[in-house]
């Protein structure tokens, strides 16, 4: 059997680290942190539990910050100079998924931006591996009067799954009626938190920014509920892949644009018309004239998973792309993948071959997600 | 009369006459986690010691299973192709991968016996 190399770097820990160890987690290095990849139940069971009930994830390694200015318009002008999303148009408490871009239109990171209830304050959540670079980049591009405040003393925990709302309502009655993709300040089990109704699993749920001193107590309270189990990074990855969501550094990076990454939907009409985001000329040209490659979903016809890096070919064996995320989808009950293919092969239904261990294996380009999204809808 | 030997890559080989049955150890299946896919060689294929005999995949990753000995594949465990979780349930028994007809029984002398393997696993923990 082949084995992974031994890691020797000094790793950071989250406020929940001791709890993970106590719960029997297998800890692995991830983005400079010692993180739980799975608990004793294992990835498969954790994944299925999240889809059936509720899973609790420690995502405290992610970067949290407030971007603060005198009013909404000025703080939006500052962030919109760096991202293509419509932040100005957010209603108070609304959240938007957007992208930090480089000057070539490549993606520096993907992030969530919340217009908080307080005028002139945006709440940002960025990826762990990118957070130092992201925050330095943002801070380095702010006009006078706009400030970035990193929140180093806050943990971030996610509660995801069809039972998440029922469980969470026991601690925060106001959260049940909260709309999807909104972020509200509220008291959770007596602790002041910023609660976002959002997630990375394709399920309904919450992401809870909690003072680090209270993080263990809140996590233990949630885990004590019968529907809730702790979920590691392994299942987090298979859940987000089934939901068709990008993993930064794999499915999108500095060399892929939002158009290639099938994320053109994140660029609003106003932002396209204004054309004042980094790499706008390249991106707008791609929207108008098309791109040579696109991110697509891939469904292998056999049972063999196609992992990241797997070559994609056409029927004649010519290379037309590469898998950027792939593995086994526990809820799908078989292998799933996403990757980039030449645009001529990007249409759903197109047959391709995945070169796994030297053999071409048939697969189809498919629309994502691989599982139905079950987000909270207003009035439900 | 059968004799079981182990590699430091966590494969086992059980020998009965000139037939060697190959699998992965209980320690290996635990490290892998839930097995979701197994790929086995064609019957009739000649495999040399150290060559890939099979591929086993968990949700997280793919791993090669290397043959501890040389020989011709005379049987494969199609049950675990259909139900890969069988590897987790009984790695040392019904979760076997392939049977080879041994071509060089002296290769077994280079492998660990059960006591040596158990000590080796303990040294990893």
**HSE-CB for A243 with a 13 A CA cutoff:** 23
Enclosing H/E stretch for A19? helix A17-22
Please compute the mean of the pLDDT values over residues A3-29 and round it to a whole number: 86
CB contact under 8 A, B34 and A357: no
CATH of A17-58+153-242, one of 3.30.1360.120, 3.40.50.2300, 2.60.40.1290, 3.40.190.10: 3.30.1360.120
- Rg (Cα) of chain A, in Å, rounded? 21
- Both tokens of residue A143? 């006009």
- Both tokens of residue A18? 């001791």
Min CA distance, A305 vs chain B (Å)? Answer: 8
Residue A380 is predicted with a pLDDT of 45
Q: DSSP code of A91?
A: P
| Contact present, B95 and B79 (Cβ < 8 Å) | no
- What ranges do the domains of chain B cover? 2-104
Q: Which residue has the higher pLDDT, A199 or A6?
A: A199
- The ipTM estimated for the assembled molecules is 0.87
Distance CA A213, CA A192 (A): 12
Distance CA A260, CA A240 (A): 19
CB contact under 8 A, A43 and B33: yes
Taken in order A165, A170, A176, A180, is the CA torsion positive or negative? Answer: negative
- Both tokens of residue A250? 């794999």
Minimum mean pLDDT among A19-23, A86-90, A289-293, B32-36: which range?
A: B32-36
Residue A9 is predicted with a pLDDT of 65
- What ranges do the domains of chain A cover? 17-58+153-242, 292-380
Please check whether the domain covering B2-104 is classified as CATH 2.40.30.10: no
Confidence class of residue A379 from pLDDT cuts 50, 70 and 90?
A: low
Q: Please state the separation of Cα B51 from the chain's center in Å.
A: 12
Distance CA B103, CA A367 (A): 50
The CA-based dihedral angle spanning residues A297, A303, A305, A311, taken in that order and rounded to the nearest 10 degrees: -70
Residue A8 is predicted with a pLDDT of 56
Q: Please state the separation of Cα A334 from the chain's center in Å.
A: 22
CB contact under 8 A, B39 and A335: no
Q: How many CB atoms lie within 10 A of CB A379?
A: 6
Min CA distance, B2 vs chain A (Å)? Answer: 23
Residue A129 is predicted with a pLDDT of 96
Residue B125 is predicted with a pLDDT of 79
Distance CA A134, CA A139 (A): 8
- Both tokens of residue B71? 């020989």
Residues of chain A contacting B121 with CB distance shorter than 8 Å: none
Confidence class of residue B3 from pLDDT cuts 50, 70 and 90?
A: confident
Minimum mean pLDDT among A7-21, A73-87, A356-370, B32-46: which range?
A: A7-21
Residue A2 is predicted with a pLDDT of 55
The answer to whether residue A335 neighbours chain B at the CB level (below 8 Å) is yes
CB contact under 8 A, A43 and B60: yes
**HSE-CB for A40 with a 13 A CA cutoff:** 4
The answer to whether residue A1 neighbours chain B at the CB level (below 8 Å) is yes
Please compute the mean of the pLDDT values over residues B20-25 and round it to a whole number: 97
Task: Give the best residue of B60, B64, B78, B120 to mutate against chain A (max A CB count within 10 A).
Answer: B60
Min CA distance, B98 vs chain A (Å)? Answer: 15
pLDDT digits (tens, 9 = 90+) for B50-99: 999 999 999 888 999 999 999 999 999 999 999 999 999 999 999 999 99
CB contact under 8 A, B11 and A234: no
Measuring CA to CA, which residue among A31, A25, A17 is closest to residue A46? A25
pLDDT of B1 > 50? The answer is no
Q: Please state the separation of Cα A179 from the chain's center in Å.
A: 19
Distance CA A124, CA A119 (A): 15
Distance CA A322, CA A311 (A): 5
pLDDT digits (tens, 9 = 90+) for B90-112: 999 999 999 999 999 999 999 99
Q: Please state, for a pLDDT cut of 90, what percent of chain A lies above it.
A: 95
CB contact under 8 A, B39 and A304: yes
pLDDT digits (tens, 9 = 90+) for A230-265: 999 999 999 999 999 999 999 999 999 999 999 999
pLDDT digits (tens, 9 = 90+) for A267-288: 999 999 999 999 999 999 999 9
Distance CA A328, CA A145 (A): 49
| Contact present, B37 and A335 (Cβ < 8 Å) | yes
List the single residue in B with minimal CA-CA distance to A233. B60
Residues of chain A contacting B24 with CB distance shorter than 8 Å: 1
Confidence class of residue A375 from pLDDT cuts 50, 70 and 90?
A: confident
Residue B61 is predicted with a pLDDT of 86
pLDDT of A3 > 80? The answer is no
| Contact present, A345 and A320 (Cβ < 8 Å) | yes
pLDDT digits (tens, 9 = 90+) for A290-331: 999 999 999 999 999 999 999 999 999 999 999 999 999 999
pLDDT digits (tens, 9 = 90+) for A192-202: 999 999 999 99
Residues 6+ apart with CB under 8 A from A193: A172, A185, A186, A187, A208, A209, A210, A218
Q: Work out the mean pLDDT of chain A and round it to a whole number.
A: 96
pLDDT of A152 > 60? The answer is yes
pLDDT of A48 > 70? The answer is yes
Residue B22 is predicted with a pLDDT of 98
Q: Where are the beta strands (DSSP E) in chain A?
A: 26-30, 33-38, 54-58, 63-68, 95-101, 107-115, 121-126, 147-150, 154-160, 183-188, 191-196, 205-211, 228-230, 293-300, 311-313, 319-329, 334-342, 351-356, 359-366
pLDDT of A4 > 90? The answer is no
Distance CA A7, CA A29 (A): 8
Residue A378 is predicted with a pLDDT of 67
The CATH H-level (homologous superfamily) assignment of domain A292-380 is: Aminomethyltransferase beta-barrel domains (2.40.30.110)
Q: What is the pTM of this model?
A: 0.94
């Amino acid at each position: 059997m082949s084995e992974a190399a031994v890691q020797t770097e000094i790793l950071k820990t989250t406020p929940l680290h001791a709890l993970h160890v106590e719960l029997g987690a297998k800890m692995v290095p991830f983005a400079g942190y010692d993180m739980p990849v799975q608990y004793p139940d294992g990835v498969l069971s954790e994944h299925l539990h999240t889809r059936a009930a509720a899973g609790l994830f420690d995502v405290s390694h992610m970067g949290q910050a407030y971007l603060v200015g005198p009013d909404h318009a000025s703080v939006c002008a500052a962030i919109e100079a760096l991202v293509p999303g419509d932040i100005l148009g957010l209603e108070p408490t609304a959240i938007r998924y957007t992208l930090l871009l480089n000057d070539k239109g490549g993606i520096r990171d993907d992030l969530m931006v919340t217009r908080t209830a307080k005028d002139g304050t945006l709440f940002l959540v960025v990826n762990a591996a990118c957070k130092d670079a992201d925050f330095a980049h943002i801070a380095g591009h702010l006009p006078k009067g706009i400030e970035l405040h990193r929140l180093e003393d806050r943990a971030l925990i996610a509660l995801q799954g069809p039972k998440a709302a029922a469980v969470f309502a026991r601690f925060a009655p106001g959260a049940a009626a909260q709309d999807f993709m909104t972020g509200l300040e509220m008291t959770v089990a007596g602790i002041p938190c910023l609660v976002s109704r959002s997630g990375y699993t394709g399920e309904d749920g919450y992401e809870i920014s909690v003072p680090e001193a209270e993080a263990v107590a809140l996590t233990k309270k949630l885990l004590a509920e019968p529907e809730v189990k702790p979920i590691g990074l392994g299942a987090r990855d298979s859940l987000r892949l089934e939901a068709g969501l990008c993993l930064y550094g794999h499915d999108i990076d500095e060399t892929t644009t939002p158009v290639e990454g099938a994320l053109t939907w994140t660029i609003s009409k106003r932002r396209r018309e204004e054309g004042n985001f980094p790499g706008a000329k390249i991106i707008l040209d791609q929207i108008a004239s098309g791109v040579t490659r696109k991110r697509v979903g891939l469904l292998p016809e056999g049972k063999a998973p196609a992992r990241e890096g797997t070559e994609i070919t056409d029927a004649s064996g010519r290379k037309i792309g590469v898998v950027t995320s792939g593995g086994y989808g526990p809820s799908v009950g078989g292998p799933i993948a996403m990757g980039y293919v030449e645009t001529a092969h990007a249409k759903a239904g197109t047959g391709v071959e995945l070169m796994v261990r030297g053999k071409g294996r048939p697969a189809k380009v498919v629309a994502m997600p691989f599982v139905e999204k079950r987000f909270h809808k207003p009035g439900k | 009369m059968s004799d079981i030997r182990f590699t430091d890559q966590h494969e086992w080989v059980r020998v009965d006459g000139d037939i060697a049955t190959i699998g992965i150890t209980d320690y290996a299946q635990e490290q892998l986690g839930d097995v979701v896919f197994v790929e086995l060689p064609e019957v009739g294929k000649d495999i040399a010691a150290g060559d890939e005999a099979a591929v086993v995949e968990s949700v997280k990753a793919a791993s090669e299973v290397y043959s501890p000995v040389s020989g011709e594949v005379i049987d494969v465990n199609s049950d675990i192709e259909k139900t890969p979780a069988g590897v987790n349930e009984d790695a040392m028994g019904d979760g076997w991968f392939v049977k080879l007809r041994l071509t060089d029984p002296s290769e077994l002398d280079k492998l660990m016996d059960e006591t040596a393997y158990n000590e080796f696993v303990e040294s990893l923990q």
